Structure formats: structure tokens, C-alpha cells
């Protein structure tokens, strides 16, 4: 059995409103081992993104209530201080968001934005970081990476660029029907994929492979797990919980 990378136990996310709490994720548990890919599938509002955002500490602390635990490298992600969480984000756990055009800052060059992720976690010079950014763009198959990184060519493949920016042991990849995605992909249901290190090259079909090959997937519905597939060596425990809303 391979090393456990992420162990989520009883993750519950609620948004307090004037009319009571809205339960977005209810008692979600799963385990991710090194080298695995986990797909979380579900319709809109089923809590795929929210559960992943909660792990990343990217939900507004004041407007959400998060409980449960998520052990990562011996630490509980859900109780880490903002500063410790910041060190993990973008280095150990990265997230690739679903709308690449909205996810890149419109006023900075793509290269600088990727380089920023490099300098945030390592003391390297700006030019070194930019070189690394170009390398990453190259690695995900962007032609003329340097020209695009330095703003001489438009950064057409923004999605690849965001993907290049986020490289760590765990990538959370958000995919869903989106007007900007290709026609073939638009027919597929939305999915959030957690990809652990060593699960293969980052590619846009990762989530689909995961589902089709059935390595490991969770089907989410209204904040709870409906069912999960358990194949190969992975284990996943499922706790059913009725959505209260």
C-alpha cells in the first residue's frame, strides 16, 4: 500500500445565511495516496469545488463554517494558520480553476504571473523565476513560450498557462461545462479531480481518464457523497449524510 498523501475526514462546509445555514458539503471523507488520481463528479452545487476550496483555505473565513479534518503531511489543513496555509498553497497543493480567462490577472503578463508563483515559495531572482515560467509553459506544450511569457505574443492558451503555474504534489483541477471549453468536452459532466504527485503528466483528460479507467471517483450530490468507486489499490470510505437544506 502506497503512502497516504491526503486524508479527509468528515469535511463539512456550511454557509451561514439569514435563513439558516446552507450546507454545501456534508461529512465528506476520502483518502488520496501518492500516485493516485481521484475524480469527484457531480452536478452544479453538489460541493465539488467548495470541498476543494475548503482544503485550500480559499473560502472566506468569515462567511463559511468548516469542520472536519484534512491531514496532509502530518498537519491538519483545516486548522493551520493563514501563514502556514499560504506556504502550502501553490507549493504543495495547487489548484487549477475552471475559467482560465477570468483566472489570470488581465493587467500582468502571463510569464510574470507564473514567475510570481515561483518566487512566492523560493528565494530566486526574478529573471530565474521567469526562465522557470517559460520552462513550465514549454512543458505543457505552449508554442513560442518565451514570447508569450514576456508579452510579445498574446497568451492564447491561458488555460495551459494557469496549469503551468500550478505544479505541486497535489493538483486540484476543476473542470465543468463551460462555454469556453471545446465542444467535445462540453458534453461531459462537471468534475473535480485531485491529482496526486506521480499520477502522470498534467493533461486535460486527466479527470476523464480517472473516471473511464475507474481508478477512483466520488459522485457528489447536494453536498454529500452518493457513491464511490473503489478499484485498484485505493481505498475510499464513504459516509452518507442527508443534505439538510
Partner 1 sequence: MALYIARRILWAGVVILVVLMIVFAVFYLLPASDPALRFAGKSPTPESLALIRDRLGLDEPWWKQYGIFVKNFVTGDEYGWPGLGYSFTSNVSVLSEVTERAPRTLFLILGAAIIWLVVGVSIGVLSAVKRQSAADRAAMGFVLIGISSPVFWLGLMALWVFWKKLGWTAGTGYVPLTENPTGFLSHMILPWCVLALLFAAIYARMTRNSLLDTLGEDYIRTARAKGLSERTVIFRHGLRASMAPIITMFGMDIALLVGGAIITESVFNIQGLGWLAIDGTLNQDLPTVVGVVMLGAVAVVVMNLIVDIGYAFLDPRVRYE
Q: Which residues bind partner 1 (CB under 8 A)?
A: 56, 58, 62, 82, 86-91, 94-95, 97, 99, 102-109, 113, 116-117, 120-121, 151, 162, 165-166
Pick 101 or 214: Cβ nearer partner 1: 101
Pick 91 or 146: Cβ nearer partner 1: 91
Supply the minimum distance, in Å, between the C-beta of residue 235 and partner 1.
28
178 contacts 190 by C-beta, under 8 angstroms: no
C-alpha atoms less than 13 angstroms from C-alpha of 231 in its C-beta half-sphere:
13
- Distance separating alpha carbons of residues 95 and 150, to the nearest angstrom: 23
Supply the minimum distance, in Å, between the C-beta of residue 178 and partner 1.
12
Supply the minimum distance, in Å, between the C-beta of residue 126 and partner 1.
13
Pick 58 or 243: Cβ nearer partner 1: 58
Eight-state DSSP code of residue 189: P
142 contacts 134 by C-beta, under 8 angstroms: no
Strand segments (E) across the chain? 4-17, 20-33, 37-42, 65-72, 75-76, 93-96, 170-175, 191-196, 216-221, 224-230
Pick 56 or 66: Cβ nearer partner 1: 56
Supply the minimum distance, in Å, between the C-beta of residue 182 and partner 1.
20
Supply the minimum distance, in Å, between the C-beta of residue 163 and partner 1.
12
| Element of type H or E holding 187 | none
Q: Which three cell numbers stand for residue 31?
A: 483518502
Supply the minimum distance, in Å, between the C-beta of residue 236 and partner 1.
25
Pick 33 or 89: Cβ nearer partner 1: 89
Report phi then psi at 216, rounded to 5: -165, 130
Say if strands 37-42 and 75-76 run parallel, antiparallel, or are unpaired. unpaired
Pick 90 or 169: Cβ nearer partner 1: 90
Amino acid at each position: 500500500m502506497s503512502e497516504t498523501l491526503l486524508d479527509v475526514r468528515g469535511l463539512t462546509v456550511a454557509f451561514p445565511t439569514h435563513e439558516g445555514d446552507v450546507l454545501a458539503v456534508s461529512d465528506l471523507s476520502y483518502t488520496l495516496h501518492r500516485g493516485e488520481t481521484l475524480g469527484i463528479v457531480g452536478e452544479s452545487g453538489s460541493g465539488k469545488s467548495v470541498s476543494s476550496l475548503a482544503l485550500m483555505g480559499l473560502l472566506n473565513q468569515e462567511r463559511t463554517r468548516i469542520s472536519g479534518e484534512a491531514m496532509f503531511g502530518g498537519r491538519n489543513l483545516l486548522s493551520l494558520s493563514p501563514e502556514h496555509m499560504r506556504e502550502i498553497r501553490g507549493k504543495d497543493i495547487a489548484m487549477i480553476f475552471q475559467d482560465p480567462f477570468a483566472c489570470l490577472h488581465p493587467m500582468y503578463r502571463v510569464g510574470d504571473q507564473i514567475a510570481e508563483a515561483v518566487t512566492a515559495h523560493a528565494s530566486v531572482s526574478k529573471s530565474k523565476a521567469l526562465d522557470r515560467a517559460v520552462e513550465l509553459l514549454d512543458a505543457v506544450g505552449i508554442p513560442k513560450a518565451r514570447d508569450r511569457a514576456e508579452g510579445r505574443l498574446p497568451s492564447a492558451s491561458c488555460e495551459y498557462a494557469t496549469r503551468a503555474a500550478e505544479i505541486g504534489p497535489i493538483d486540484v483541477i476543476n473542470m465543468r461545462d463551460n462555454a469556453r471549453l471545446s465542444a467535445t468536452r462540453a458534453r461531459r459532466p462537471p468534475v473535480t479531480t485531485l491529482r496526486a504527485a506521480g499520477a502522470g503528466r498534467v493533461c486535460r483528460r486527466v479527470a476523464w481518464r480517472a473516471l473511464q479507467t475507474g481508478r477512483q471517483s466520488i459522485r457528489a450530490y447536494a453536498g454529500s457523497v452518493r457513491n464511490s468507486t473503489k478499484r485498484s489499490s485505493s481505498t475510499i470510505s464513504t459516509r452518507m449524510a442527508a443534505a439538510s437544506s
